[in-house]
Structures are given as C-alpha cells and as structure tokens.
C-alpha cells in the first residue's frame, strides 16, 4: 500500500527567524503547516494563524511521527547551531518516508553530512548575502536564484534597447549565452518562448545561465536603461 502524502502540507522543525519566516510564507500561500520546536515561546507568534503547533523535546522517529509530520509532502529542518539535533531530525524525517527533506546548514562540512543522509541543503545566510550583493551591484535586477555555484536564474526589467525586437532578430541565445524562461508584460507571464517572441522595454524577463554571462547581460542592459 502506497504511503499517504498530503501535497498541501509542509513540516517545519525549529521556529527561529528562518523557520518563522518560512512558516508565515507558506501559511500566506494557503498551505497546511506543522510546526515543531522545543521552546514553546517560539511557537507563540503562530498560535493565531495555525493549529498544528507542537512543543517537542525528543526528535526520535516515533516522537516526530506522532505529530503527523510524516504525511507532509516536504519537511524543513531549520535548527541551526545545534548540529546534533539538526542531523538527528533530518535522519528521522527521512526515515519517516517524507518525499522531500530540506535542512539548514551552517557550513560546507555540515552540508556535506546532510547530503550524505539524503537531504536537500540550504544555506540561508549565504543565500541571502548573495541575493543582497546582486541587488546592490546590479542595476534593474529584481530577483535572483542561485542553482549552483556557476548557474543562476535572474529576473530583471528590460531596457528600451530591446523594444520591438524578437529573440531571433537579437540572436539572443548565441549573443548572450542565456536562455529566456519567461517574459512578463502587464502582469501576465508568457512562458511559451519562441524565436519570434518580441521583447519590449519595461517588460520583465527571466533568464537562466552561467553567472559570468548573466553579469555581462545585466551590464549591457543597464548601459541602455
């Protein structure tokens, strides 16, 4: 018999600043959240927004299972400095058969251990620092997502240099070495990107590629803003 998975449910262990922000974002998106922390006071900010709050002293597989977190589509371990608790929670969430287990890491070695357990790894402080650096140094960049050390996705506002020109006319892919994922005009996203797709100044474009090529494209775009 297949294991039941609630695709709308997400578990969070550790309600510090990162965990609280994550919980609020998921709740605002209409998701069902199960939140756990050993410190009941950390659960207080969520009491008026959700019902599945658990103060938990033990991170054993059995204790975690009793909260219902094992039925979640994904669970995130937001415990930071207590490495033993972080690793134990991660291991037991994986043992519960949760499809996606994502854990916060505070160092490369810590992240390596988490990956060996089978978890996805996030580095919140590093990611936020990188996003801030891009926003400070890159004109017209609206958002940024690093997929690995060399490849990223960037959302930015196009300059009028591109107004009325198609991707084919611009020879966009060969010229800039980037893939256009989406073009957003008047709040409407067009993901059906073709060679004859016409760009316009002021539109939002989402592009993916090598970081060096992304920087070069952004500098070109900024010069013609």
At residue 65, the pLDDT reads 96
Residue scoring higher pLDDT (31 or 139): 31
Q: Which domains does the chain have, with CATH numbers?
A: 6-122 (3.40.50.720), 127-223 (3.30.70.1450)
Q: Residues with Cβ < 8 Å from 204, sequence gap 6 or more?
A: 142, 155, 156, 157, 158, 183, 184, 185
Continuous segment of H or E residues that includes residue 144:
strand 141-146
Split at pLDDT 50, 70, 90, the class of 25 is confident
**Tell me: the pLDDT tens digits for 66-105?**
999 999 999 999 998 899 999 999 999 999 999 999 999 9
The pLDDT value given to residue 134: 58
Q: Is the dihedral of CA 46, 49, 55, 59 positive or negative?
A: negative
Give the integer Cα–Cα distance in Å for 204 and 187: 9
pTM assigned to the model: 0.64
């Amino acid at each position: 018999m297949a294991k039941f998975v609630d695709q709308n449910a997400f578990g969070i262990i550790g309600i510090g600043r990162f965990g609280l922000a994550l919980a609020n974002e998921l709740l605002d998106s209409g998701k069902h959240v199960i939140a756990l922390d050993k410190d009941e006071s950390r659960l207080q900010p969520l009491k008026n927004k959700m019902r599945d709050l658990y103060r938990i002293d033990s991170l054993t597989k059995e204790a975690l299972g009793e909260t219902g977190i094992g039925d979640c589509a994904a669970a995130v371990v937001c415990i930071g400095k207590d490495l033993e608790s972080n690793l134990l929670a991660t291991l037991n969430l994986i043992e519960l058969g949760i499809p996606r287990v994502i854990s916060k890491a505070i160092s490369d070695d810590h992240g390596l251990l988490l990956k060996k357990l089978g978890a996805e790894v996030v580095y919140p402080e590093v990611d936020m620092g990188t996003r801030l650096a891009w926003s400070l140094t890159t004109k017209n960049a609206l958002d940024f997502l690093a997929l690995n050390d060399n490849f990223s996705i960037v959302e930015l506002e196009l300059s009028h240099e591109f107004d009325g020109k198609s991707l084919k006319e611009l020879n966009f892919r060969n010229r800039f070495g980037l893939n256009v994922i989406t073009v957003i005009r008047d709040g409407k996203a067009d993901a059906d990107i073709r060679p004859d797709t016409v760009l316009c100044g002021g539109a939002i474009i989402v592009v993916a590629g090598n970081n060096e090529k992304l920087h070069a494209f952004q500098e070109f775009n900024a010069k013609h803003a």
